[in-house]
Structure 1
Amino acid sequence: MKLAIIGLGKMGGNMARRLLKNGIEVVGFDFNQDAVNQISQTNGMIPASSVADAVSKLSGEPKKIVWIMLPSGEITENQIKDLVPLLDKGDIIIDGGNSNYKHSQRRGAWLAEQGIDFIDCGTSGGVWGLENGYCLMYGGTKEAADTIEPIAKALTHEDRGWAHVGPIGSGHFTKMIHNGIEYGMMQAFAEGLDLLKGKEEFNLDLAQITELWRHGSVVRSWLLDLTAEALAHDQELSSIAPYVADSGEGRWTVVEAVDQGVAAPVLTVALQARFRSQDSKGYSYKLLSLMRNAFGGHAVKTK
């Protein structure tokens, strides 16, 4: 089986590597030609010099499958439009980025008019997906979902970590809520650890405590694992600025809560805390920034 990946950044590049490792042929293109060359030379990816070249190298496949790993918004929108003339009816476009689910619904409806299948795939796993496998939640028709199942298995753990969750839009919707929950979990850890640090009379060792919690505790999690590992190296976080970015998913989740009339105070306050960090200072904000970097490789603002 063969597919093309457009966008070989941190996530897209690692996805290409994992697919190649698990027997899926990958044609790759990125405007950063160094990224293309590196993965081609070290992992055996088929290099492409342009999007059109990448698609042409899928000729002979029963269905051409193009996986887009680009920033949400106009870049993804334009790339999908540019792909349509290069594809045939029955071919499949997968958007594996963090697009707004409403945009995915619209794009899916438009592509259906062109005879092209669309899958919106929420992708979790961050920079660790190459080693640990990703979590994929995707929406689309059953036929398209069945077609990409071997790809999903190669990117995950074959028998788990992937699911066709519903129609077009449902994949990115599920990922949006996933990220909203993530905001709340991160905020809770950050605030709790800030309180521990603030109790100066006990002189608590946060590296010791987070490592302790990893074993048998009800709050044990991968997020805690990453936090404990980072604190083992530097508890003061002196090089990290107390600034926490928000990439959009948290905002969309809170807007969805308002639209549905569903109370989501934890998710809302977690989002607002990120806003506040952009004009404030504090240890908890440094911890939030550290966690985002640990699981997703998101840039850390330094002093």
Structure 2
Amino acid sequence: MNKSSFGLIGLGVMGRNLLLNVADHGFKVSGLDLDPKQVIAMQSERLEGHQLEAFTSSDDFITSLASPRTIMLLVPAGAIVDQVIESLIPKLDKGDLIIDGGNSHYLDTERREQFLNSKGLLFLGTGVSGGAQGARKGPSIMPGGDFEAYQRVAPIFEAITAKYEGEPCVSYVGRSGAGNYVKMVHNGIEYAIMQSIAEVYALFRSYGFSNTEVKSAFDRYQKGRLSSFLIEITAAILGTKDPEGKGELVDNILDKAKQKGTGKWTSQNAMDLGIAIPSIDMAVSQRALSALKELRVRLSGNKPNPEKINFNTLVEKAEKALYASFAIAYAQGLQQISEASKVYDYQIDLVSVIKLWRGGCIIQSRMLGDLATSFEKESILHLFESSHFKSALTEAVEGLRELVLSGVKNALPIGTLSSSLSYYDTLHCSDLPVNMVQAQRDFFGSHTYERKDQPGIFHHNWSL
């Protein structure tokens, strides 16, 4: 009897959809979930012609797999991943491969790889982006770890992933925890872009424009250089009616955002590396601030009435602001990945990362296609160095500047847009006021300083 070439543990919506995707492409697959309801759901969703089995028994699941076994985990990140791995080890043989497809912390991935390698088992920490719909129709996949292990599963991943101009949105990301690291930063970029879009939406609404009018603006953006998954779903959200019959649904959603940790991890790690990602940092902070709903209600007062503005003028300025914000979020995330690759010896190819983000994932956009070309042809280290983007970004930043000024004037919470602008201005300033900071540090703590006019380390005996 032919055995399954791919097994998956965790048959929630994401797991079921991914397994159906693999089965769609002619692979024989097996699924495992200890919850009988999930197994029944899996069996009911199986299509005619699928070579797919689902089990509640781990022994039956293991027996159904061809050796060397390939088993992917789609279970919640954290202790559960370790528990599943521990339960599998006694049942596996040397050379079997375990793939963690959840949002695990990259340090956990490094630890698990070392542990499993000591047992003669292979391990890949693999970021998967695209949500439940992407898992079914084609996600973006970011595998990291042992290259030979990746080669074993590559035919399956290349078959099921999204395609961009015929190219699979998957490639070997790098060694050890690189896959989960890149997915972590992907999510950080996602935070920044989502918050930037939300702040632009808030500006439109503050000027009194309806959701229908704002939707028309985002529909227009989707047809141009801002074309992306997040712009597309924003337009759809703005056009969605409340099932309770109370206008548009978005107006009745409580303004308290939740988070699962990847954005926070991105900010924490950037601090450790000494990399500035203020747009991502502020987007994470904005979610934390949103949780303080009761305090915000108590402190809120009358806002100034904004001056009248022509709708088409605002649409144009907002388009430029969003273009700049997208580019700046990508720039920050890519610089962080580049630095981490050096520090952790991940050996990440930035061009490959950009290419696998062009389709299937949450941050996919038309801009990433241009970005891939720039990084590939120009050998640049930072997006702002790109000759392809320079003129377009310079113009777009002025639109961002006008929108930020408008938001500040009208006392609107536009922290991410303003952080993006500050980041851009700071990197385009040859002289920063941190000379004063260095003098202050030397004054109170004898921390020393360097001089502009001569080499060396200096200390001054300051006095009041």
Deviation at 1:140, TM superposition (A): 1.6
Q: Deviations over 1:160-187 (max 9, x none)?
A: 1101111120000000000000000000
Return structure 1 stretches of 4+ with deviation > 4 angstroms: none
Deviation at 1:55, TM superposition (A): 1.1
Look up the SS of the partner of 1:211 in the other structure: helix
**Which residue number in structure 1 is paired with residue 110 of structure 2?**
105
**Which residue number in structure 2 is paired with residue 241 of structure 1?**
254
**Which residue number in structure 2 is paired with residue 55 of structure 1?**
62
Pairing 1:214–2:222 present: yes
Pairwise mapping of residues 1-303 of structure 1 onto structure 2 (< 5 A)?
Answer: 2-43=5-46, 44=50, 45-58=52-65, 61-157=66-162, 159-200=167-208, 205-216=213-224, 218-234=225-241, 235=248, 237-280=250-293
Q: Of Structure 1 and Structure 2, which has the larger fraction of its residues in strand?
A: 1
Given the two structures, how large is their TM-score scaled by the length of structure 2? Answer: 0.58
Q: Deviations over 1:13-72 (max 9, x none)?
A: 1101101111111111113322212322431421212223211211xx231111000000
Look up the SS of the partner of 1:233 in the other structure: coil
Letter in 1 for 2:192: G
Determine if contact 1:18/1:154 at 8 Å carries over to the other structure. no
Alpha-carbon separation, structure 1, partners of 2:113 and 2:210? 55
Cα root mean square deviation, aligned: 1.8
Deviation at 1:236, TM superposition (A): 5.6
Determine if contact 2:191/2:284 at 8 Å carries over to the other structure. yes
Percent identical among aligned pairs is 32
Alpha-carbon separation, structure 2, partners of 1:255 and 1:178? 15
Look up the SS of the partner of 2:150 in the other structure: helix
Name which one, 1 or 2, has greater alpha-carbon Rg. Answer: 2
Look up the SS of the partner of 1:104 in the other structure: helix
Deviation at 1:119, TM superposition (A): 0.4
Measured at CA, do residues 270 and 160 of structure 1 come closer, stay the same or move farther in structure 2, by a change above 3 Å?
A: same
Deviation at 1:280, TM superposition (A): 2.2
Deviation at 1:85, TM superposition (A): 0.8
Alpha-carbon separation, structure 2, partners of 1:203 and 1:242? 18
Determine if contact 2:32/2:58 at 8 Å carries over to the other structure. yes
Deviation at 1:131, TM superposition (A): 4.8
Given the two structures, how large is their TM-score scaled by the length of structure 1? Answer: 0.87
Letter in 1 for 2:134: G
Determine if contact 2:191/2:283 at 8 Å carries over to the other structure. yes
Letter in 2 for 1:132: K
Determine if contact 1:69/1:96 at 8 Å carries over to the other structure. yes
Q: Deviations over 1:72-112 (max 9, x none)?
A: 00111111111111100000000000000000000000100
Look up the SS of the partner of 1:46 in the other structure: strand
Determine if contact 2:20/2:136 at 8 Å carries over to the other structure. no
Determine if contact 2:35/2:56 at 8 Å carries over to the other structure. no
Determine if contact 2:240/2:249 at 8 Å carries over to the other structure. no
Look up the SS of the partner of 2:173 in the other structure: strand
Determine if contact 2:259/2:287 at 8 Å carries over to the other structure. yes
Moved more, 248-257 or 231-240: 231-240
Determine if contact 1:6/1:66 at 8 Å carries over to the other structure. yes
Determine if contact 1:211/1:225 at 8 Å carries over to the other structure. yes
Determine if contact 1:118/1:168 at 8 Å carries over to the other structure. no
Look up the SS of the partner of 2:141 in the other structure: strand
Determine if contact 2:159/2:168 at 8 Å carries over to the other structure. no
Determine if contact 2:18/2:136 at 8 Å carries over to the other structure. no
How many residues align structurally? 280
Alpha-carbon separation, structure 2, partners of 1:199 and 1:236? 20
Letter in 1 for 2:178: S
Letter in 2 for 1:253: T
Letter in 2 for 1:197: R
Deviation at 1:238, TM superposition (A): 3.5
**Which residue number in structure 2 is paired with residue 300 of structure 1?**
none
Alpha-carbon separation, structure 1, partners of 2:196 and 2:162? 29
Letter in 2 for 1:267: I
